[in-house]
Amino acid sequence: MKKIFNVILILALLSLIIYLSTEGKQVDKSKADYKTTEVVETESKIVETEITTDKHYSNTMMPVNCKTCHACDYPTKNDPCLANCPRSSIITVYHQPSEGPKLVHMNDVEGDYGEVTFSHEVHAQMSSFSIGCEGCHHYNTTGPVVKCKTCHNTTRKRKDIFTPDLEAAYHRQCLNCHRQWDRTTDCQQCHITKKDEQDKVKREKIKKFENYKHPPLTEPKKIVYQTKQPGGKYVTFYHNEHTERFSIACQTCHKDDNCISCHDVNHKQYSESVTKKKKTHKSFEQHHQPCINCHITTVCSKCHSDKPEEEFNHYKNTGFDLSGNHFNLKCNKCHKSSSFKGLNSNCTSCHNNFKDGKFDHTKTGIKLDEIHIDLSCTDCHQNSRFDKPPICSDCHDGYKYPSKVPGKIIR
């Protein structure tokens, strides 16, 4: 009986060993047979290779579609091809710095430090040069600005880990600029410590910031860049033309700028940070990024030349003199598209409502005399070509404009 028991025990052990061995092979086989795709980016192309691996990658934590954030099939580190965030295109209400409070006392987060007295108006004024109000208030697209804690919990107990709590949201907004500008992220830079006389420190901060405004920026009229472009190392940029004539908002070009462009603790004062020349090492794309949205089809020679260029002269460049009432017009009043292509110079191409007896001729700089004031416009301006000099010889032998004028020159 004992021998039978020993035989059964041995057989059972052998069966267990065989089972475990087979199961192990099956597990190894399932790992070895798992196939995935390896994507390698080279200078000229993207190579996709099917490889065998023993690692199983799973994306089961959340049902995320890659196309939600990435516009291409194979995003890489060098080219993540991130899709544009739609929030900028759905904003319908644009706020001004003067609408908000001068100071905001942040005391909704309990911790080792006291509240933060935040100079809201000064930061709002600075943001108008670049990112705008939506840089911080990033989900206010259709109306009043809501408080941060409307979306960000005051505690760290949250289900959606993709929405930071209030403390994290505050720090994410502030740390980048202060790390660059102050070269430090010491908590005392913003927080009143609980060891301090909090009421006294708070009063000092209020006194410092409640009537403080950001100094007005001195906008340059002309900037000359020296480049390494063969056959055109100078780029002459007239800043005033772009802001005044073309009505381009500051954010259009300066949306990626931040405080360190002007402010830095390593500079002794504000004026030095502005006037001190800085050498920047940027790629070709980075240098051209502020301009490329408008000049995407422009040839290099349009901006690059062998010497600094003069300011744009409409008469010299186009043959149409911007005199009289045209002088102070914004470019987009006539050039409706951003391409600024040549237009029909005939007045009626824009002013198609000329009627005899209704037009105020003094706008041209000439007050018509009694002989001419009752004439039809086409009596002097043949074929309604108001862009051409008037014809006098049809009525007056030997008369020619401008040696003879049909009235009095008033300007």
Query: Rounded to whole angstroms, how far apart are CA atoms 349 and 376?
Result: 19
Do 198 and 259 fall into the same domain?
no
Do 128 and 33 fall into the same domain?
no
What is the rounded average pLDDT of the residues 186-192? 81
Do 394 and 363 fall into the same domain?
yes
Say if CB 246 and CB 331 are below 8 A apart.
yes
| Burial of 109 from C-beta contacts in 10 A (0-12 / 13-18 / 19+) | buried
Structure tokens, 344: 């029909």
Q: 10 Å Cβ neighbour count for 45?
A: 8
Say if CB 368 and CB 361 are below 8 A apart.
yes
Instruction: With respect to residue 320, please indicate whether it lies within any of the assigned structural domains.
Output: no
Q: How many domains does the chain have?
A: 4
Instruction: With respect to residue 327, please indicate whether it lies within any of the assigned structural domains.
Output: no
**For position 108, what pLDDT does the model report?**
86
pLDDT band at 271; cut points 50, 70, 90: very low
**For position 290, what pLDDT does the model report?**
80
Sign of the torsion formed by the C-alpha atoms of 113, 116, 117 and 122:
positive
Give 122-133 pLDDT, tens digit per residue. 888 888 777 778
Give 381-402 pLDDT, tens digit per residue. 888 777 788 888 888 888 888 8
pLDDT for residue 199 is more than 60: yes
Instruction: With respect to residue 336, please indicate whether it lies within any of the assigned structural domains.
Output: no
Do 53 and 95 fall into the same domain?
no
**pLDDT mean across residues, the chain:** 75
**For position 273, what pLDDT does the model report?**
41
What is the rounded average pLDDT of the residues 223-233? 84
What is the rounded average pLDDT of the residues 158-169? 81
pLDDT for residue 58 is more than 60: no
CATH number at residue 114: 3.90.10.10
Do 203 and 106 fall into the same domain?
yes
- Structural domain for 398, as ranges: 344-411
- Of 66, 83, 100, the residue at which a domain comes to its end is 83
**Minimum mean pLDDT range among 98-102, 281-285, 338-342:** 338-342
Say if CB 172 and CB 97 are below 8 A apart.
no
Query: Rounded to whole angstroms, how far apart are CA atoms 249 and 130?
Result: 9
